[in-house]
Structures are given as C-alpha cells and as structure tokens.
C-alpha cells in the first residue's frame, strides 16, 4: 500500500508550505528529505535551500547530486536508520520509492513531524507561479530542459525542476524571479495530479510503472486526469503520433494543440538532411511556415521534443527567433546521449534509457550519427518488475547495436516476489534468441575490464539505464 492510500499522508492544501510554516519566505525552517539523492528530490531541496530553509536528509547512495547539495550546506547521511531525524524538524519530504517500513519515516511518524510527498511540495511551489508541467512516458526531461532553456535565455528567469542536470542553465533546479514554474510531471503513483499547471504537455503514453498501474487503460485514464487538471485558460500540447495521448487529451477543458512529424498536426516538423546525424527541421503552424530550426542533439525524437517546447513557449509569448537561438545552442541534459569522453579514438556515451522504446530510439539516433562504426551497448535493467512486464520488448530493442553487454538488474521498489520471478539471465536468453550478440556480465567493474580489453579505435560505447550504470562510462574513460 502506498502512503496516500493508507490515509497517512496529509491532503494537498491551498499552500502546503504556508500552512506548515505560516509565513513566507521560509528562511530558517528545517526540512528533512528521505531519499534526497533522487533527481526530483534533490531539485526541490536545492530550491528550498535557496529559499533559506535548513535542509537535511538521507539517501542510501552517495552521488554527485548529494555532494552538490552538501556543497550548498545540506546535511546528508547514508544510514537512513532514523538516527539523524530530529524533533526540531518542521517537515519531512518523502520520495515515491519510500515505504512505510523505512526507519527514517517511522521515526518521523513517532515524533509527530508533518510528512508530505515530493509531488505535494512540488505542487505547492508551482501554485505560487504560472505552472508548466511536462508529462509523458518518454522525453519529459529533454522537453523540460528545452523549455527552461528557451525561457531563461529569453530573459524570463523561470523557476524549474528538471529530472536531469542541465549544465548550461545551472543544473536540475533554479529559483527564478519570474512568474513561470517549469516541472516534470511524473505519472508514477499518480504524482502529477498534485500539480495545477496552466500549461501542460503529454509527450507520449506507453506501458510503464506496471508495478503501480494494472494496465495501459489505467495509465491512459491517469493521463486523462492530468489533462483535465490544466486550467481552462491554459494550453495542453500533445503528440498525436501517439493515439494514447489523443485519447487522454479528450478529457482536457482547455485549448489543445497537437504536434508531430505529420502535416495533419497543429505543429508539424519537417526534418531536413542533417550533417553528421544532427537535425535541421522546418516548423509549420497550422499549415503556415513558422520557422527553420536546428538541434545539436541527434534523433528525430528530439525534433518532437523541440516541437512541444516551441508550442509551449509560443503560447507563453516567446518570439520565434529567440526559440530558434535557444534550440540551436541547446546541448541537452546529462545522461541524455551525453558524450562522457573521446579517448584513443573511442567515443563513450551515457544515456538514461531504461524502457524498450527509449533504448530503440537512442540506438537509432546513434546509428544515424555513427553509421559505419561498431556500437557497444551496456544495458543495466532498472527494476525487476519492469523487466518482467516488458521482457520481450526489451529483447527486441537492441537491433542497432553491434554488441550488447547486460548487467545485473538494478533493484528499486521491487518486492520479494518480483526478485524471484525475474532475473537478468532470462533477459539475456530472450535477447540472444532474438539474434543479438549479447554477453551477460553481472558486475559493473567486470564490464569495465571487458570493455577496456575489447574495444578498438573508432568504436562507440553506450551505457544505458536509470541505475548506476553511468559509472561504467566514467570508469572506462578514466582507464583510457
């Protein structure tokens, strides 16, 4: 049972922060984050630090995100055993992966401290500004990063919370002075229903988070609830390449605009011949030529992300030349086709892809960019349940890789049943039977050793997954 179902989480108020602290600004109040190293949790923690809160928290893993927060003054422990919790804490924030048996959370309950979800805090922050929420199974981070980049370079100084580090605009979070708040809207645990945006995006809808949702129909219905939450004077932007998004968008009470690489959409992209796999494309708005844009990041899926960003920013009031300039300089978010290093003629790339569709489109973009080169894909499955539900789809997603190395499954939110029902060997066998050249090497350190002795100048090495497989990319570059 999740916390909201148990009735122990407090319902969303007019302003959760104001009801807790009875004042604005929040300077001096103590907020503790359980799971502070998560990309969304760390982003909100960063914003509250900038608001003047005293932030502390726990996470089982040390990461660049936790180190960055410590540099800003946050106190973080890795025990998560309840010993770090203090009765002086005003509020405890939990990530969606935290269960009721977590020692930190049990201690907070015992001390009578207010406990809220990350998505509730995010929704409360968004209510204070003009909200822009980006949802979808894939593409949320890149689309959010594009929109935030366009708005920031146009001088609108938005507040943003992004599911990835975007170095060119200061990381994964920023407390802006403008009246806009850009945030990713995650469907897991129906978290995005805590947001009340004026502008929304649905990039696509596919089967995912099947440890929470029973089936695709339940997922589409949740996205329909999200569509209906957008204010009537606002805008919903949807990808009508995807019929599931079209179904969800019917529930919207606001203006709806569509985008695709098809001229039947409101916003249509026409991809032109690009150099070295990078993209130039014309944009048409309701059949009239709008502008010609270019992207430094590869893949037709990123053209779709750019169309969504263009629709949103045009509605907000950004002129087309400013959008063009921002997109042309956009270098993407970390862990999204991120080139970690080029050493000895070997290019090492890291990507967050952890769903079959994401793997497929990312490898297709790599093949377009490097048509004659040997591509190694190092994949770390994320969640036993996701691997079990999408086993056959995963096995068919590696067609554009020459060699695949499979690591052990990265466990998160998995119960004992899932851990016994699925293992990496089953994915290895299913993938090998589909004709893919694949090795199963459980440990990341061993994968680094095998790559170091096997790759050749001109090869492309891509690490993929939502866990800690990125360590392979950085360790390999260091070895070189």
Point out the residues that are catalytic: 140-141, 184
Is the CB of residue 286 less than 8 Å from the CB of residue 243?
Answer: no
Instruction: Please state the three-class secondary structure of the chain as a single string.
Output: CCHHHHCCCCCCCCCHHHHHHCCCCCCCCEEEEECCCCHHHHHHHHHHHHCCCEEEEECCCCCHHHHHHHHCCCEEECCCCCCCCCCCCCEEEECCCCCCCCHHHHHHHHHCCEEEEHHHHHHHHHHCCEEEEEECCCCHHHHHHHHHHHHHHCCCCCEEEEEEEEHHHCEEEECCCCCEEEEECCCHHHHHHHCCCCEEEECCCCCCCCCCCCCHHHHHHHHHHHHHCCCCCCEEEEECCCHHHHHHHCCCCCEEEEEECCCCCCEEEEEECCCCCCEEEEEEECCEEEEEEEECCCCHHHHHHHHHHHHHHHHHCCCHHHHHHHHHHCCCCCCCCEEEEEECCEEEEEECCCCHHHHHHHHHHHHHHCCCCCEEEEECCECHHHHHHCHHHHHCCCCCCCEEEECCCECCCCCHHHHHHCCHHHHHHHHHHCCCCEEECCCHHHHHHHHHHHCCCCCEEEEECCCCCHHHHHHHHHHC
Is the CB of residue 158 less than 8 Å from the CB of residue 180?
Answer: yes
Closest C-alpha to 125, from 277, 12, 32, 248: 12
Is the CB of residue 90 less than 8 Å from the CB of residue 20?
Answer: yes
Q: How far apart are CA 268 and CA 21, in angstroms?
A: 47
Q: How far apart are CA 190 and CA 221, in angstroms?
A: 10
Closest C-alpha to 407, from 364, 442, 454: 442
Tell me the torsion sign for CA atoms 393, 395, 396, 402: positive
CA dist 122 → 43, 85, 167, 209 (Å): 10, 22, 22, 21
Other beta carbons within 10 Å of 62? 12
How many residues would you count in the chain?
480
């Amino acid at each position: 049972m999740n916390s909201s179902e148990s009735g122990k989480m407090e319902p969303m108020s007019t302003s959760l922060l104001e009801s807790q602290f009875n004042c604005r600004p929040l300077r001096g109040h103590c907020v503790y984050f359980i799971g502070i190293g998560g990309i969304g949790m760390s982003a909100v923690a960063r914003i509250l630090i900038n608001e003047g809160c005293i932030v502390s928290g726990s996470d089982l893993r040390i990461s660049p995100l936790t180190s960055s927060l410590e540099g800003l003054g946050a106190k973080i422990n890795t025990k998560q055993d309840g010993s770090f919790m203090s009765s002086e804490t005003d509020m405890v924030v939990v990530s969606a992966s935290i269960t009721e048996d977590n020692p930190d959370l049990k201690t907070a309950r015992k001390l009578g401290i207010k406990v809220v979800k990350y998505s509730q805090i995010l929704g409360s922050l968004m209510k204070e500004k003009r909200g822009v929420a980006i949802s979808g199974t894939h593409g949320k981070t890149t689309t959010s990063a594009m929109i935030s980049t366009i708005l920031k370079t146009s001088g609108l100084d938005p507040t943003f919370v992004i599911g990835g580090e975007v170095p060119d605009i200061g990381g994964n979070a920023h407390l802006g002075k403008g009246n806009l708040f850009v945030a990713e809207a995650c469907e897991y645990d129906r978290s995005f229903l805590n947001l009340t945006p004026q502008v929304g995006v649905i990039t696509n809808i596919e089967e995912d988070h099947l440890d929470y949702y029973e089936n695709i129909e339940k997922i589409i219905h949740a996205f329909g609830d999200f569509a209906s939450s957008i204010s009537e004077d606002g805008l919903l932007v949807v990808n009508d390449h995807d019929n599931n998004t079209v179904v969800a968008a019917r529930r919207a009470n606001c203006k709806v605009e569509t985008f695709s690489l098809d001229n039947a959409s409101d916003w249509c992209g026409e991809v032109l011949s690009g150099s070295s796999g990078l993209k130039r494309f014309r944009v048409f708005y309701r059949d009239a030529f709008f502008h010609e844009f270019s992207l430094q990041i590869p893949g037709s899926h990123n053209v779709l992300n750019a169309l969504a960003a263009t629709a949103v920013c045009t509605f907000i009031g950004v002129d087309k030349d400013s959008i063009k300039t921002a997109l042309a300089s956009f270098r993407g978010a970390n862990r999204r086709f991120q080139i970690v290093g080029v050493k000895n003629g070997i290019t090492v790339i890291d990507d967050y892809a952890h769903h079959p569709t994401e793997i497929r489109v990312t490898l297709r973009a790599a093949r377009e960019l490097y048509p004659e080169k040997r591509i190694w894909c190092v994949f770390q499955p994320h969640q036993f349940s996701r691997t079990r539900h999408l086993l056959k789809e995963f096995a068919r997603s590696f067609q554009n890789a020459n060699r695949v190395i499979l690591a052990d499954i990265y466990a998160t939110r998995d119960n004992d049943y899932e851990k016994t029902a699925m293992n990496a060997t089953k994915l290895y066998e299913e993938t090998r039977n589909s004709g893919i050249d694949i090795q199963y090497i459980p440990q990341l350190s061993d994968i680094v050793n095998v790559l170091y002795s096997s790759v050749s100048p001109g090869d492309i090495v891509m690490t993929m997954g939502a866990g800690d497989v990125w360590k392979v990319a950085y360790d390999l570059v260091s070895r070189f």
